[in-house]
């Protein structure tokens, strides 16, 4: 559908002008170049470090940690969310704990994780999981709660087993909510991986960017940022594509209801 | 026990379920306390909650935690308010004019996927470890939720409202102030609310990466000096702070938006 949309000439023109202003502004002010190298130099740095390897290596490390943390969060968040959404008692018991922990900025957990796990891969993954589970958990609970009871009861009167009700009724009916949680979790996971790498990493894109800043290699620093942004953009695009596939039935249903 | 309350009014039942959660929570803390004291949990990593609370109240009484929080809050408020002051007007303008929207769209889409913490090194390059560094980082990270929600809010303003304003010959500025802004305000508020926890997170991160004071620095520094109890006390204060800020915002929201809920009720 988006392909039918007209090409945004003015937007790209404006963006191009901004980039040109960057290029020539930096060239015109040599004193500033330490902070603000011309765009072409940043792109050259990007190419050079992509060819000689370090940037690709760091990217792979960050992607690995991200995937590990995100997938774990999805598994934990959805499972726990279904349990807490379905069994009222479980939710009542844990409610106060959740209310206490949730307003605390998740990054505050980093020092604790360092204490328990040292400066390691598992520390970064643990921190990512802690932060990413929240939106997935809360949205899954909401989703399961908002299911029409008629659906579950119909399933029951057809004699479906509990497991089948879970797989064939509850999860599909709650999936639009769950997907919202998964999408929010996606950007949070990337934020947490890069943050943890900055605060206590010796590898990964977050570390690379901060390290290049400290050694005043601003060209490499900007190159790293472009790579992180591209990663974030790519992940989001991938997610939307998968979502459109998986939730096709749901959008179709909504369209039918609207018609 | 529960059956005795089953027939009671809904309010009492609500309170009872709430109480169960609180009892469970206290039970967990008691288990932690016992496990830590009997060294089932390593007390160097997970010190007993009573000790944490002791140190916490000492640090509050000595003014150290309130001071660090004050320092952090000043930065947070500056960045947050600055973002609101810039991006609400920008959102309104972009929402009203398709041409201006197209102009900025690509630039916004290019900058948006940058994870906010990654901006910290750039800010450090320009501002060093000064206040401006943290303020800029918060400003940047609140930009998108505020901008995009304002934009959506303005776009979804009823066309009849806008046309009515035009029919009555309201000037552009007056239309914005008296028609668009009130009609879009629920969504603007959503943007401001979403930005609140983001602000708090980014203050803590930027203080961990590049600062010599503030609550984020305090927590990380305590860990590096192995003052573990103090570290947990700092986290406790952050949890309280996050909770309080949220409640304050809710209160403000209710006061500011009471007309909106009243209108919704009347429409029903």
Closest of A74, A61, A209, A207 to residue A135, by C-alpha: A74
Q: What is the pLDDT of residue B182?
A: 87
**CA–CA distance, A164 with A173 (Å, rounded to integer):** 13
pLDDT digits (tens, 9 = 90+) for B191-242: 999 899 899 999 999 999 888 899 999 999 999 998 999 999 999 999 999 9
Put simply, the answer to whether B116 touches A191 (Cβ < 8 Å) is: yes
Contacts of B107 in chain A (CB under 8 A): 11, 14-15, 18
Contacts of A92 in chain B (CB under 8 A): 17-18, 20-21
Q: Of A121-130, A195-204, B8-17, B54-63, give the lowest mean pLDDT range.
A: B8-17
Put simply, the answer to whether B104 touches A14 (Cβ < 8 Å) is: yes
Mean pLDDT of the region A163-182:
87
Mean pLDDT of the region A214-230:
89
Contacts of A114 in chain B (CB under 8 A): 223
The DSSP element (H or E) to which B13 belongs, if any, is helix B10-37
Is the pLDDT reported for residue A108 higher than 60?
A: yes
Q: Which of A26, A93, A107, A113 to mutate to test the interface with B (most CBs of B within 10 A)?
A: A107
Closest of B262, B239, B233, B253 to residue B47, by C-alpha: B233
Q: What is the pLDDT of residue A91?
A: 86
Looking at residue B129, what DSSP letter applies? T
- DSSP readout, B42-76? -TTTS--HHHHHHHHHHHHHTTHHHHHHHHHHHHH
Put simply, the answer to whether A11 touches B216 (Cβ < 8 Å) is: no
Is the pLDDT reported for residue B3 higher than 60?
A: no
CA–CA–CA angle B68, B72, B78 (5° rounding): 150
Q: What is the pLDDT of residue B174?
A: 84
Residue A35 φ then ψ, to 5°: -95, -30
Q: Which two tokens stand for residue A238?
A: 């991938």
pLDDT digits (tens, 9 = 90+) for A12-23: 999 999 999 888
**CA–CA distance, B32 with B45 (Å, rounded to integer):** 12
Q: What is the pLDDT of residue B81?
A: 96
Higher pLDDT among residues B90 and B255, named by residue: B90
Q: What is the pLDDT of residue B237?
A: 94
**CA–CA distance, A106 with B114 (Å, rounded to integer):** 19
Q: Which of A94, A104, A109 to mutate to test the interface with B (most CBs of B within 10 A)?
A: A104
Q: What is the pLDDT of residue B30?
A: 93
Q: What is the pLDDT of residue B200?
A: 93
Q: Which of B118, B142, B208, B233 to mutate to test the interface with A (most CBs of A within 10 A)?
A: B118
Q: What is the pLDDT of residue A5?
A: 62
A72, with CB counted inside 10 A (0-12, 13-18, 19+), is: middle
Put simply, the answer to whether A107 touches B209 (Cβ < 8 Å) is: no
Instruction: Chain B: give the shortest CA distance to residue A259, in Å.
Output: 21
B204, B238 contact by CB (below 8 A) = yes
Provide the sign of the torsion angle of the four alpha carbons B188, B193, B194, B196, taken in this order. positive
pLDDT band at B13 (very low <50, low <70, confident <90, very high): low
Q: Which two tokens stand for residue B42?
A: 């390593």
pLDDT digits (tens, 9 = 90+) for A116-141: 998 888 999 999 999 999 999 999 99
Put simply, the answer to whether B28 touches A191 (Cβ < 8 Å) is: no
Name the residue in chain A with its Cα closest to that of B201. Answer: A105
**CA–CA distance, A228 with A89 (Å, rounded to integer):** 42
Put simply, the answer to whether B115 touches A191 (Cβ < 8 Å) is: yes
Is the pLDDT reported for residue A1 higher than 50?
A: no
Contacts of B117 in chain A (CB under 8 A): 191, 194-195, 198, 206
Q: Using CB atoms, pick whichever of A8, A199, A233 lies closest to residue B113.
A: A233
Q: Which two tokens stand for residue B191?
A: 């943007």
Q: How many CB atoms lie within 10 A of CB B146?
A: 25
Closest of B100, B116, B126, B101 to residue B203, by C-alpha: B116
- In terms of phi and psi (left: phi > 0; alpha: psi -120 to 50; beta: otherwise), the region of A148 is beta
Put simply, the answer to whether A92 touches B17 (Cβ < 8 Å) is: yes
């Amino acid at each position: 559908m988006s392909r039918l949309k007209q090409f945004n000439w003015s937007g790209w023109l404006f963006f191009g002008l901004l980039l040109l202003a960057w290029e020539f502004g930096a060239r015109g002010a040599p004193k500033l170049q330490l902070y603000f190298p011309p765009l072409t130099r940043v792109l050259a740095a990007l190419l050079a470090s992509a060819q000689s390897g370090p940037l690709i290596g760091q990217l792979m490390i960050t992607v690995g940690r991200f995937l590990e943390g995100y997938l774990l969060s999805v598994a934990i968040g959805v499972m726990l969310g279904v349990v807490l959404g379905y069994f009222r008692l479980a939710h009542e018991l844990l409610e106060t704990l959740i209310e206490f922990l949730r307003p605390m900025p998740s990054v505050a957990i980093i020092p604790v994780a360092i204490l328990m796990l040292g400066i390691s891969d598992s520390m970064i993954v643990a921190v990512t999981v802690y932060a990413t589970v929240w939106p997935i958990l809360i949205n899954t609970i909401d989703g399961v709660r908002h299911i029409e009871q008629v659906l579950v009861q119909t399933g029951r009167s057809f004699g479906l087993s509990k497991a089948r009700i879970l797989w064939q009724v509850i999860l599909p009916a709650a999936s639009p909510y769950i997907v919202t949680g998964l999408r929010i979790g996606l950007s949070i996971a990337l934020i947490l991986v890069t943050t943890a790498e900055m605060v206590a990493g010796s590898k990964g894109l977050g570390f690379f960017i901060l390290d290049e800043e400290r050694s005043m290699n601003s060209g490499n620093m900007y190159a790293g940022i472009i790579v992180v942004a591209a990663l974030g953009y790519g992940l989001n695009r991938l997610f939307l594509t998968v979502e459109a596939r998986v939730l096709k039935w749901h959008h179709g249903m909504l369209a039918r209801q609207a018609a | 026990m529960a059956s005795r309350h089953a027939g009671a009014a809904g309010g009492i039942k609500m309170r009872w379920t709430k109480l169960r959660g609180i009892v469970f929570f206290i039970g967990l803390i008691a288990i932690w306390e016992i496990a830590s004291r009997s060294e089932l949990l390593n007390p160097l990593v997970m010190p007993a909650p009573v000790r944490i609370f002791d140190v916490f109240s000492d640090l509050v009484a000595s003014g150290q935690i309130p001071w660090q929080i004050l320092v952090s809050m000043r930065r947070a408020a500056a960045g947050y308010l600055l973002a609101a002051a810039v991006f609400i007007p920008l959102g309104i303008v972009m929402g009203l004019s398709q041409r201006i929207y197209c102009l900025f769209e690509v630039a916004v889409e290019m900058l948006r996927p940058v994870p906010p913490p990654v901006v910290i090194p750039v800010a450090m390059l320009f501002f060093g470890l000064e206040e401006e560094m943290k303020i800029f980082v918060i400003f940047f990270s609140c930009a998108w939720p505020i901008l995009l929600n304002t934009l959506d809010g303005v776009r979804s303003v009823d066309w009849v409202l806008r046309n009515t304003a035009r029919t009555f010959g309201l000037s552009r500025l007056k239309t914005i102030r008296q028609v668009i802004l009130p009609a879009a305000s629920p969504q603007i508020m959503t943007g401001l609310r979403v930005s609140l926890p983001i602000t708090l997170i980014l203050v803590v991160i930027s203080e961990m990466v590049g600062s010599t004071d503030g609550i984020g620095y305090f927590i990380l520094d305590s860990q590096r000096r192995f003052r573990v109890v103090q570290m947990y006390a700092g986290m406790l204060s952050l949890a309280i702070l996050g909770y309080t800020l949220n409640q304050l915002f809710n209160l403000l929201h209710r006061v500011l938006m009471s007309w909106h809920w009243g209108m919704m009720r009347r429409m029903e």
